[in-house]
Amino acid sequence: MKRRDVIKGLTMLPLAGGIVGSAQAAINAEGTGMIGMLGGENSAAGPMKFGPEVYRSLGVEPVINCRGTFTIIGASTLVPEAKEAMYNAQSNYVQLDELAMGVGKRLAELSGAEWGVVSCGCAGGMKITTMAAVTGGNPEKLVRVPDLTGFEKDEVIIPRRSRNTYDHAIRNVGVKIITVDTQEELEAAMNPRTAMIYMMPSTKPGDTGPLSVHAISKAAKLKGIPVLVDAAAEALTLNPNVHLADGATVVAYSGGKAIRGPQSAGLLLGDKKLLMAAWQSSAPHHGAGRDNKVGKEEQIGMLAAVEAWTKRNHAQEELTWTGYLETISKRVSAISGVTTSIRQPTGLDNRTPTLTISWDPAKFNASGQEMATYLSTTKPRIALSAGGGRRGTPASENLTSISVAAFMMQPGDDKIVADRIFDALNMKRPATPEMKAPSADLKGRWDVTVEYFNEVSKHTFSIEEQDSNWLKGSHKSAFTTNELDGTIDGNAVIFRSASRMLADNVPFTFSGTVNGDTMSGNIHHGEYLTSKFTAKKVIQPSSRQRINVPVGPPLSS
């Protein structure tokens, strides 16, 4: 899964990886279950306990991570070396510039790059690298960011396939984004105002074709333009780093993913001059990067994780992960109608063996999305991905499935997960009941009021089709007009739309009840939490009048 593909999951439930299922939608329609875990607000928290129950003492139920290094569920766990190094680092004071120089030199020795910088996450690293590219290390420019008035360089080129929600880190600097579709367009777009080119890694290792790291870097080098590669979720490559070897100027990693350093840290490797300017752009130095603080503990922990990376037996780790999946596969394969397959990783991005568990949703009365939702909202909680068909879809056309990614699992998780999935698949579930007759004709225009945490916004539904229980139309939000589809089951309504932009997607899942010409309920926004809505149908007055066609020019204005 490439980093840009992660965006697709952001429109889904944070843990389940699937659209809100019917049971969860019913909970939401009643106004509960919108924030927190296990179907509602966090349970009452008491005094914090120090130890294994630290999360539960705050009313927060931990999660078994069978999905991947998603920030929203804690990404990865620290390698022991990083944990020990951070504990020791917190016991003393140190001058942070001196520490950065020592860490940078050691990272260069370990990686084969000219220099290294520990950033505030991968996104923070992207931001300070962009700042370095537009300021050149000039502090008079630095303190003016994001007002780039008078700057010689204020443009960043991004291939369209690399546009994603993470490039906010680039946009936050105030640069003008130039999006290109081809290698020819990219080369034509390069000019004296181009500060940098940002891109995702090539889709295939060793790719030298158009818009590959190799092709872009070769063209950019002729113009003296730096290339930043976002390798956030990739396995680290050293001596040489594959992207630097392909000609990239800087490569950015997330510290808390495959490397298993501090989640709040990132890693930048590459050109020393550009990275010195990037360090100057970040905290503790004042300017627009002051909010990207990296403490002494994160710097030492990140370096320790890279040191550990050079000594880890990566082949044995993958065998261990495969063993976890084999345990789960053996357990659930005993269920008639369930099939499993294990896919071994081939690239660097999110490198993990993955188990896919498939079944006919009609036979089990459960889709993969519903199964994933159930497993993520009941104890012990399991985060995994879902895919495939829905109940009632013939098996010959489409099976449904859940997927288990192994690389963030802990010893012993495999047996817990195997039993949980086995029991969940063996549960007796009633067939999906037929939807009740609609309680209202919803066709027409509805004026919608959305209540966010601290703002009220006016939207519009235009419901153009109602085929019994099925609805289609459009949803006009504050900034975009989007396709709307949904259902009415008796007086219960569910609508879905999304405000889609080039690099962003804000989902809207409306669930509530209709009463005559009014509706009300809740909205689930995926990663953006929740809001509430009310809607009133616009009753258009009847105005049947004959229409006169004007004759000749008007005699007055």
pLDDT digits (tens, 9 = 90+) for 319-349: 999 999 999 999 999 999 999 999 999 999 9
Domain boundaries, the chain: 3-38+53-75+314-426, 80-309, 444-537
Q: What is the 3-state secondary structure (H, E, C) of 340-384?
A: EEEECCCCCECCCCEEEEEECHHHHCCCHHHHHHHHHHCCCEEEC
Distance CA 339, CA 333 (A): 6
Q: Is the pLDDT of residue 263 over 50?
A: yes
Least confident of 21-35, 177-191, 222-236, 308-322: 21-35
552 pLDDT tier (thresholds 50, 70, 90): confident
State which H helix or E strand residue 401 sits in. Answer: strand 400-405
For position 5, what pLDDT does the model report?
55
Where residue 468 falls among pLDDT bands split at 50, 70, 90?
A: very high
Please list the residues that pair with 413 across neighbouring strands: none
In the predicted structure, residue 543 carries a pLDDT above the cut 80: no
Q: CB–CB of 230/3 below 8 Å?
A: yes
Task: Show the tokens assigned to 280.
Answer: 């100057």
Rounded to the nearest 10 degrees, the angle between the axes of helix 121-135 and helix 272-281 is 110
Would you place residue 1 in the very low, low, confident or very high pLDDT band (cuts 50, 70, 90)?
A: low
For the chain, what's the residue count?
557
Distance CA 443, CA 116 (A): 60
The two tokens of residue 332 are 């659930």
Of the candidate CATH numbers 2.40.128.120, 3.40.1440.60, 3.90.420.10, 1.10.760.10, the domain formed by 444-537 belongs to 2.40.128.120
Q: Where are the beta strands (DSSP E) in 468-504?
A: 470-476, 481-489, 492-500
**What is d(CA 13, CA 530) in angstroms, rounded to the nearest whole number?**
12
b/e string for 265-293 if b means 16 or more Cβ within 10 A?
bbbbbbbeebbbbbbbbbbebebbbeebe
Cα–Cα distance for residue pair 319/529, rounded to 1 Å: 37
More confident residue, 41 or 316: 316
The set of residues, in sequence order, having a beta carbon less than 8 Å from that of 471 and lying 6+ positions away, is 442, 463, 465, 484, 485, 486, 487, 488, 493, 495
Sheet-wide strand order for 250-254: 115-119, 266-270, 250-254, 227-230, 194-199, 155-159, 176-180
Question: Which of helix, strand or coil describes residue 186?
Answer: helix
CA 205, chain centre distance (Å): 23
In this prediction, residues 49-56 reach a mean pLDDT of 90
Predicted local confidence at residue 389, as pLDDT: 52
The arithmetic mean of pLDDT across residues 373-382, rounded, is 96
Dihedral, CA of residue 303, residue 309, residue 310 and residue 313, to nearest 10: 160
Structure tokens at 31: 């106004």
Output Rg (C-alpha) for the chain, integer angstroms: 27
CA-CA distance, 313 to 79, in Å (whole number)?
13
Burial of 222 (0-12, 13-18, 19+ CB in 10 A): exposed
pLDDT tens digits along 143-201: 999 999 999 999 999 999 999 999 999 999 999 999 999 999 999 999 999 999 999 99
| CA-to-CA dists, residue 323 to 316, 330, 363, 496, 515, angstroms | 10, 11, 29, 40, 54
Among 19-28, 128-137, 340-349, which is the least confidently predicted range?
19-28
14 confidence band (pLDDT: 50, 70, 90): very low
Local structure of 7: helix, strand or coil: helix
pLDDT at residue 69 tops 60: yes
> Look-up: residue for tokens 């009632």?
392
What whole-number percentage of the chain has pLDDT above 90? 84
Q: Which overall architecture, per CATH, does domain 80-309 show?
A: 3-Layer(aba) Sandwich (3.40)
How far apart CA 61 and CA 44 sit, in angstroms, is: 12
Tokens of 178: 């130039």
Residue 82, pLDDT above cutoff 80: yes
Tell me, what's the pLDDT at 395?
44
Q: What pLDDT is stored for residue 408 in this prediction?
A: 96
Instruction: State yes or no: pLDDT of 117 exceeds 80.
Output: yes
Confidence of residue 478 (pLDDT cuts 50, 70, 90): very high
* Beta carbons of 250 and 241 less than 8 angstroms apart: no
Angstrom CA distances, 63 to 72, 304, 325, 395, 499, stand at 11, 26, 18, 31, 30
Of the candidate CATH numbers 3.40.50.1000, 3.90.1150.180, 3.90.1150.10, 3.90.650.10, the domain formed by 3-38+53-75+314-426 belongs to 3.90.1150.180
Could you tell me which residue, 9 or 274, shows the higher pLDDT? Answer: 274
Does residue 31 carry a pLDDT above 60?
no
pLDDT digits (tens, 9 = 90+) for 185-204: 999 999 999 999 999 998 77
CA nearest neighbour of 449 among 504, 512, 526: 512
Q: What is the pTM of this model?
A: 0.90
- pLDDT number for residue 15: 41
- The span from the CA of 146 to the CA of 141, in Å, is 9
At 49, the amino acid letter reads K
| Band (255; pLDDT cuts 50, 70, 90) | very high
pLDDT of residue 393 exceeding 60, the answer is no
Task: Please give the Cα distance from 406 to 520 (Å, whole number).
Answer: 41
What is the residue whose two structure tokens read 């975009």?
Answer: 480
The predicted-structure confidence for 354-368, as pLDDT tens digits, reads as follows 999 999 999 999 999
Cα 338 from Cα 18, distance rounded (Å): 20
Closest CA to 296 of 469, 11, 95, 112: 95
Distance CA(239)–CA(245), nearest Å, equals: 9
